[in-house]
Amino acid sequence: MVRPLVVRHTAGSYAVIIRSGSRADLAALLNERHPGTRAAVIADSNVAAALGSPLPAAPLFTFPAGEAHKSRATWADLTDRLLAERFDRQTVIVAFGGGVTTDLAGFVAATFLRGVPWIAVPTTTLAMLDAAVGGKTGVDTGAGKNLVGAFHWPSAVICDPAALSTLPERSYREGLAEAVKHAATLDDRYGEWISRNTVAIAGRDGAVLESLIRRSVELKADVVAEDERESGRRAVLNAGHTVAHALERATDYAMPHGEAVAIGLVLETRVAERMGVARAGTANQVAALLTALRLPIEPPSLDHERVMNAMVADKKNRGGVVHAALIASFGTMARDGDAWTHALDLRVLAEIL
């Protein structure tokens, strides 16, 4: 049996189980990690309709699918329903779904009765590769994405690649942008591996997907263990996200997060090249790998002023200056002295847009 990965943090550690069929182990895992507790499963309406519940005996709390519902209103509704069902501190929240569910249910767990344990059971490529690992939870507001949240570590993560077979093609592919991000920022050899395996990845080969998820989780876990609360190197995991979050807001979240990250990675690296931060040709390397995975690399026709204004609200900004984590060369991040982000030249970005 493949051994789980272990993500370490100052309060302890948790296991990330990556194996086809592992979702069936959830009940046993709950009994082992949280004996005597009562589980509450949180899933969006799409996942609930397509997959049901991973714990049929536990109450299932659903909310409308979509980024627009990752909100304080949904958080309030879910916590009110938990209280109405008389859940108490002997509660474990099970986040069953994609990135929206992971962030939202994790935030419910972080705040319900001042914090209860939670387990992530991601069902999308995006959530398995990135969102379910690292302990960042939260909701969006009118001012921007993830501006209200908390760091709250899961007690375990179950990544079952078999769940990815049910995803629509676009939903499956968008999450692959996070794998490209991990390669472009942290490991050029991982990028070479992805390039050699694009056909198997497109075909959702189970063994290849296990390797893909495992390597992305390993890379993210190493960074998170070094910088749990995003005060330093963890900022590299936000590569592409400054532009991505602005694109999402400018499209009223019609653009999927992964597609926005793909475009953001390319645009931010083009800016970095023009700023003299990135090696010439790096943006083309990133774009080539994304294109091989059939991900977009150019923004759609948008109100560019709206995109630029959306970046001002990004939580990574400091003193009103827009900052971004920039790639120096494929597999290596650029530093600005001791900082892992650079002030983004918005004039150059506007020209590129």
131 DSSP 8-state letter: I
Q: Kind and range of the H or E element at 210?
A: helix 206-226
Catalytic residue, from 181, 234, 249, 323: name it: 234
**Sign of the C-alpha dihedral, residues 157, 158, 161, 167?**
negative
Look up 114 and say whether it is catalytic: yes
Query: 70, 220, 249, 342: which is the annotated catalytic residue?
Result: 220
DSSP string covering 10-65: TTEEEEEEE-TTGGGGHHHHHHHHSTT-EEEEEEEHHHHHHH--S-TTS-EEEE--
Q: For residue 181, what are the contacts with CB-CB under 8 A and spacing of at least 6?
A: 130, 237, 239, 240, 261, 265
Does 69 participate in catalysis according to the annotation? Answer: no
Identify the active-site residue in 46, 146, 238, 317: 238
Q: Is 145 a catalytic site residue? A: no
Q: Tell me, what DSSP letter sits at residue 137? A: E
Question: Choosing from 19, 23, 34, 241, which is the catalytic residue?
Answer: 241
Which is the catalytic residue, given 67, 178, 248, 259?
178
Q: Is 238 a catalytic residue?
A: yes
Please identify which of the residues 19, 136, 181, 342 carries the catalytic annotation.
136
Which residue is catalytic, options 34, 245, 270, 342? 245
To the query of whether residue 323 is one of the catalytic residues in this protein, the response is no
Report residue 163 as tokens. 């769940």
For residue 109, count other CB atoms closer than 10 A to its CB: 28
Q: Tell me if 174 sits within 8 A of 125, measured CB to CB.
A: yes
Catalytic residue (one of 145, 215, 257, 342)? 257
Give residue 353's identity as a one-letter amino acid code.
L
**SS3 at position 275:** coil
| 298 classed as catalytic | no
Beta bridge partner(s), residue 63: 44
The one-letter amino acid at 101: T
Q: What are the φ/ψ torsions at residue 150 (nearest 5 degrees)?
A: -155, 155
Set 67, 174, 228, 230: catalytic member:
230
**Token pair in block for residue 262:** 């793909």
β-strand pairing of 91-97 with 118-122: parallel
What residues act catalytically? 114, 136, 178, 220, 230, 234, 238, 241, 245, 257
